[in-house]
Amino acid sequence: MNKIKIKTYFIFILLASFLISSSALATVSCPKPAKSQGNVNHIFFSFSKKESNLKTYLPQNLVLIDKEYLKNGPRCLTKQSYTAFVSMNNALKEDTGQSLVVASAWRSLRTQQYFARTRPSFAAGPGRSEHQLGTTIDIHIKDVKEGEYFSDTFAYSWMIEHAQEYGFVQSFNLEYEDSTGIPNEPWHWRFVGKTIATKVKNENLNLNKYLQDRKDAKLKGLNY
Ligand SMILES: [Zn+2]
């Protein structure tokens, strides 16, 4: 190869790698529907055995979670849930020195279909995962030691005490294993807003059942 050919070759390689990296960056974004797809109130949604499948529901206002809060990624959450998560994480860090990272957040129907197929005993069926609502996170601490469970951390004890102040609830716990049919999941937290989170925590309620009862009462025109 003469000098000109070598130069052209390097320019081509540079250009190609730039295009590959910029297209990879461009794909890192959250879906942005003009309005939510599906008539679902994602904050108060409840699942029941017969109905309440999310189908193709897609929330509006999904935003990318910043890298500093991610265990792996990219991941998306609704803006409101993400803002609440960041406030909670800041308070946690101030109180315990530990901080949280997100291992899973919003999941599309397609991703859930994939999980249900590949990990049927761990994942909820398609349309039946709180993760599709865009309000739910699976978390761990940032500087986790090998083999350390989230439930054994200071962060978890702090969450049990304070998460409701930021609108988060542990959806599935030991006490309600039999009625929800879902095992204790210390890492899985859902944003439902401060009022409901505080009520569920103070009265030690089964979150999904409470949301279902609330929905039934509202349909009957009752205050709940
Ligand atoms: Zn989860």
**pLDDT greater than 60 at residue 130:** yes
Adjacent-strand bridge partners of 63: 77
Assign 152 a pLDDT band (cuts: 50, 70, 90).
Answer: very high
Average pLDDT, the chain: 88
Is this model's pTM higher than 0.75 or not? yes
Rounded distance, CA 114 to CA 154, Å?
33
Give the range among 33-37, 42-46, 180-184, 196-200 with minimum mean pLDDT. Answer: 180-184
What's the N-to-C CA distance of the chain in angstroms? 79
> Is 189:200 a contact under the CB 8 Å cutoff?
no
Query: How high is the pLDDT of residue 6?
Result: 52
Q: How far is the CA of 186 from the centre of ligand 1 (A)?
A: 9
Ligand 1 mean position to 219 CA, how many Å? 29
Of 92, 127, 135, the closest CA to residue 110 belongs to: 127
**C-alpha span between 164 and 192 (Å, rounded):** 9
Residue range 60-87: mean pLDDT, rounded: 96
Burial bucket for residue 52 (CB in 10 Å: 0-12, 13-18, 19+):
middle
What integer is the mean pLDDT of 66-79? 96
Q: Would you state the pLDDT for residue 27?
A: 54
Helices and strands: H and E segment counts in the chain: 7, 6
| Percent of the chain residues topping a pLDDT of 70 | 88
180 Cα to the center of ligand 1, angstroms: 14
Give the distance (Å) from ligand 1 centre to CA of residue 77.
Answer: 13
Distance CA 99, CA 83 (A): 15
Orientation of helix 79-96 relative to helix 154-162, angle to 10° = 120
**In the prediction, which pLDDT does 154 show?**
97
With 80 as the cut, is the pLDDT of residue 169 above it? yes
- Quickly state the pLDDT bin for 7 (edges 50, 70, 90): low
pLDDT of residue 23: 40
Q: How far is the CA of 12 from the centre of ligand 1 (A)?
A: 45
User: How far is the centre of ligand 1, averaged over its atoms, from the C-alpha of 105 (Å)?
Assistant: 8
What's the confidence (pLDDT) of residue 20? Answer: 42
Q: Compute, in angstroms, the gap from residue 111 CA to the centroid of ligand 1.
A: 13
b/e sequence 173-211, b meaning 16+ C-beta within 10 Å: beebeeebeeeebbbbbbbbbeebbebbbeeebbbbebb
pLDDT: which is higher, 121 or 143: 143
- What are the tens digits of pLDDT across the range 8-50? 554 444 444 444 444 444 458 999 998 889 989 999 999 987 7
Q: How far is the CA of 171 from the centre of ligand 1 (A)?
A: 9
Q: Of the CATH numbers 3.40.50.1820, 3.30.1380.10, 3.40.640.10, 3.30.2270.10, which one belongs to the domain with range 31-219? A: 3.30.1380.10
- Per the CB < 8 A criterion, the answer to whether 169 and 205 are in contact is no
The CA 137 to ligand 1 mean position distance, Å, reads 6
* Domain extent listing, the chain: 1-28, 31-219
